[in-house]
Structure 1
Amino acid sequence: MTTQKQSELALKLDMMIGQLQQAVRAINTGNYIAAGVYMEMVQNQLPKVRWQVRG
């Protein structure tokens, strides 16, 4: 994996981690609809990221 590809993957993973953190904050404030939206965003990105990790 090239350095550029690693950087792109790291950026995507960081973004997904941020979305999961937002989901946790939403759950903690009782905003389950927003939490579901953040979780769905992460779920939709998982297949692409999995393939990037596998190469």
Structure 2
Amino acid sequence: MVLVNFQKEPQRVALPTGEAKVVLDNTASALQGISVKGSEITLDGYQAVVLEVM
């Protein structure tokens, strides 16, 4: 699954399943980990991620 935030503000996105592994992240926050809470992920402004949905 590919998610992209084209806005400056952070955006929350509901995931179809509760488990997802980040495969690729285009931001420095990749070093800190991405915020996945339950079945929701928060993307920073202009962030793109590729997820492996389990």
TM interval, shorter chain, is under 0.3
Q: Which of structures 1 and 2 has the larger relative contact order (alpha carbons within 8 angstroms, sep 6+)?
A: 2
State the TM-score, normalized to the length of structure 2: 0.18
Specify the structure having the higher radius of gyration (Cα). 1
